[in-house]
Amino acid sequence: MLNPSRVRLIAVGKVRKRWLQEGADVYLKRLPGLQVVEVKDSSPAREAAAISALLKPEERLVVLTEEGTLANSVSFSQELESLASERLALVIGGAEGIAPDLKARAHRSWSLSPMTFPHEIARLLLLEQLYRAITIQQGGPYHKV
């Protein structure tokens, strides 16, 4: 089962809308140990350099992009469970997306949707899906199959 303390979410930009931060805080309380690291909004190249500097050698880089692998909640949970022994760095890029060189280095590329979302909403969606994935793994009542 996925342990949230083995996951870091590296996100470009800050959450500025209070209602989105409140939603993120709800899920962060449900995901004890999960770290969120914010990178200053800049150009994709500068963001990639900042993210690369933050990556730890033992972490598997997973980027969230529109063109990444799509999954439903159950298959997403299964994918996370297959990576449960790894340390993960999940990256949400800024307004211009993730630099191609950072995408190329990624262990996995996932998509929350083929639609485009502001990074603040993508962060909330990812946190909710991480929580849902863990409850699926636990057989909990949060997710109705």
Predicted pLDDT of residue 145: 57
In this predicted structure, what is the pLDDT of residue 77? 95
- Asked if CATH classification 3.40.1280.10 holds for the domain at 4-138, the reply, yes or no, is yes
- pLDDT category at 107 given cuts 50, 70, 90 is very high
Three state DSSP letters for the chain: CCCHHHEEEEEECCCCCHHHHHHHHHHHHHCCCCEEEEECCCCHHHHHHHHHHHCCCCEEEEEEEEEEECCCHHHHHHHHHHCCCCEEEEEECECCECCHHHHHHCCEEECCCCCCCCHHHHHHHHHHHHHHHHHHHHCCCCCCC
Residue ranges per structural domain of the chain: 4-138
Residues 45-53, mean pLDDT to the nearest whole number:
97
Mean pLDDT of 78-102: 95
| Average pLDDT over every residue of 18-24 | 97
* pLDDT above 80: residue 42: yes
Residue percentage of the chain with pLDDT more than 70: 98
Q: What value does the mean pLDDT of the chain take?
A: 94
pLDDT reading at 116 higher than 90: no
